[in-house]
Every structure is written in C-alpha cells, then in structure tokens.
C-alpha cells in the first residue's frame, strides 16, 4: 500500500523546507524527498537533516496542512 509522507528538511544555511512524498515505504520516501529537494534548486543546498513528521495511508482522500 502506498503511503503519504510529510518531511521537514533543514539546510546548512538555516532554511526549513517541507516536502510531501507518496511512496511504498520509508526508505523510498526519504530517497524521494532528497531527490525532490535536489530538483528544486539550481545550486543544491547542503541538507543537514531530514525529519519524518507524518505518515498516512493513501486512501480516496487524505492530506496534510503545511505551515
């Protein structure tokens, strides 16, 4: 079953990013979150930490509030 993951990504230049990923497991979700950050920036920031904040099963409807 696919899961919906919400991550907080902190960079060395003190930025905080929120990344939402759909994946089959946590390992794939962490890898995908890192890849999405890499695709978002022309100059890749150094990632200091990636924290899993929430995980939900994907159903007909599900979501997260991103602050």
| Model confidence pLDDT, tens digit, residues 14-61 | 999 999 999 999 999 999 999 999 998 888 889 999 999 999 998 887
The pLDDT score that the predictor gives to residue 41 is 86
Residues 4/64, Cβ–Cβ less than 8 Å? yes
Q: Provide the domain limits for residue 28.
A: 22-55
Q: Is residue 51 part of a domain?
A: yes
Q: Is residue 27 part of a domain?
A: yes
Q: Is residue 14 part of a domain?
A: no
Domain count, the chain: 1
The pLDDT score that the predictor gives to residue 1 is 86
b/e string for 13-44 if b means 16 or more Cβ within 10 A?
eeeebebbbebeeeeebbebbbeebeeeeeee
Q: Answer yes or no: is pLDDT of 65 > 80.
A: no
In this structure, the chain runs to a length of 67
- Reported pTM: 0.85
Beta strands in the chain (DSSP E): 3-11, 16-23, 47-57
Q: Is residue 10 part of a domain?
A: no
Q: Is residue 5 part of a domain?
A: no
Q: Is residue 40 part of a domain?
A: yes
Q: Is residue 61 part of a domain?
A: no
Beta-carbon contacts of 44 under 8 Å, excluding residues fewer than 6 positions away, are 37, 38
């Amino acid at each position: 079953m696919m899961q919906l993951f919400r991550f907080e990504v902190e960079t060395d230049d003190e930025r905080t990013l929120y990344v939402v990923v759909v994946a089959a497991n946590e390992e794939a979700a962490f890898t995908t979150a890192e890849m999405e950050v890499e695709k978002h920036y022309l100059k890749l920031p150094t990632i200091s930490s990636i924290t899993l904040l929430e995980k939900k099963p994907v159903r007909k409807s599900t979501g997260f509030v991103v602050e």
